[in-house]
Amino acid sequence: MNYKAVLKNIYQTIIAEENEGKVATYIPELAKVNSENFGVHFLSVDTEEHGIGDWQKKFSIQSISKVISLSLAYKIFGDTIWERVGVEPSGTAFNSLVQLESDHGIPRNPFINAGAMVICDMLVTHLKNPKADFLAYVKEICNCDQIQYSETVARSEASIGYRNKALCNYIKSFGNIKNDPKDVLDFYFNMCSIEMNCKELSKTFMFLANSNFKTSKGEKLLNTSKTKRVNAIMQTCGFYDESGEFSFKVGLPGKSGVGGGIVAVHPDRYCITVWSPKLNEKGNSYRGMKFLEAFTTVTELSIF
């Protein structure tokens, strides 16, 4: 397969078309990003790699970070995490509160904001220096040194984060947040503010694609069963109430972020990251979805 030619063709086709959707503005700092940024990075398990367009520019990974926090909590606590968060698609927006009341504070899955906060709470309890330790973990699985939180983005989100604050406090009222909501939210906003480029994201997600993956310290992160499960949750819940659509059109486990990034994983074959800040109505990158649909269609490399 000539991946380079396929990627280039799709990129040129999509960049010539109208760039629909809107950049997220509810986090004031994200509204400042140039909406025409468009980057792609492909990395195969046998280390073939190709970057196109703005693949070297850093962007706010936002909800993509929820996969990293889930993997760390899963590694530390094992299957006990499922006592506090479910594995069902919610069919609701990423920031929805509605199901928490009837579900007694147990979020449907770890990728909606509510579920990600419960996972953050577990990490805040366990890690000595939660923010520093989490960042060190991200660097270790990415095997990259230049990864940072964006204080500016984290502060910007905290300044308007009324809904997330409501979510966290509401879950606390059911007893499913153990720490002070302020500490959990601080960790959550910082986690979402991590900045990476497309290549760093493809590398970070290799632990879900390559069964021989080892961290920079030579450790295996998750065993085969846990890896399968994280991929399964990305497949069913990675795009909120557009998860079915992504599965239908792209056919890969993946995760989106409101910064316009999408990472998709083909177990045993490759990771691919697309970044384009304009989002569709469901909060997922418009061009990212289009690019990945075309990629798995042309290459016939989806998991189905």
Question: Amino acid identity of 55?
Answer: W
In angstroms, the Cα distances linking 28 to 68, 94, 154, 173 are 24, 18, 11, 29
Contacts of 297 (CB under 8 A, 6+ apart): none
Nearest to 261 by CA among 236, 289, 235: 289
Whether 164 has a binding-site annotation, put simply, is yes
Nearest residue to the partner ligand DON, using Cβ = 63
Beta bridge partners of 264: 254, 272
What is the nearest approach in angstroms of ligand DON to the Cβ of residue 78?
A: 26
Q: Establish whether 150 is a catalytic residue.
A: no
Helix (H) or strand (E) holding 262: strand 261-266
258 is in an annotated binding site: yes
66 counts as catalytic = yes
Phi-psi region of 254 (alpha: psi -120 to 50; beta: other; left: phi over 0): beta
Residue 240 catalytic?
A: yes
Is 149 annotated in the active site? no
Is 67 annotated as ligand-binding?
no
Nearer to ligand DON, 143 or 169 (CB): 169
**Nearer to ligand DON (CB atom), residue 258 or residue 271:** 258
- 60 catalytic, yes or no? no
286 has binding-site annotation: no
**Other C-beta atoms lying within 10 Å of the C-beta of residue 47:** 8
Using a 10 angstrom Cβ sphere, with 0-12 exposed, 13-18 middle and 19 or more buried, the burial of residue 8 is middle
Return the number of the residue (113 or 231) whose C-beta is nearest ligand DON. 113
Pick the catalytic residue: 188, 250, 256, 270? 188
In the complex, which residues of this chain contact ligand DON (CB under 6 A)? Answer: 62-63, 94-95, 113, 157, 164, 192, 256-258, 283-284
Shortest distance in whole angstroms from residue 301 CB to ligand DON: 24
As annotated, the binding site for substrate includes 63, 113, 157, 164, 188, 240, 258
Catalytic positions: 63, 66, 188, 240, 258
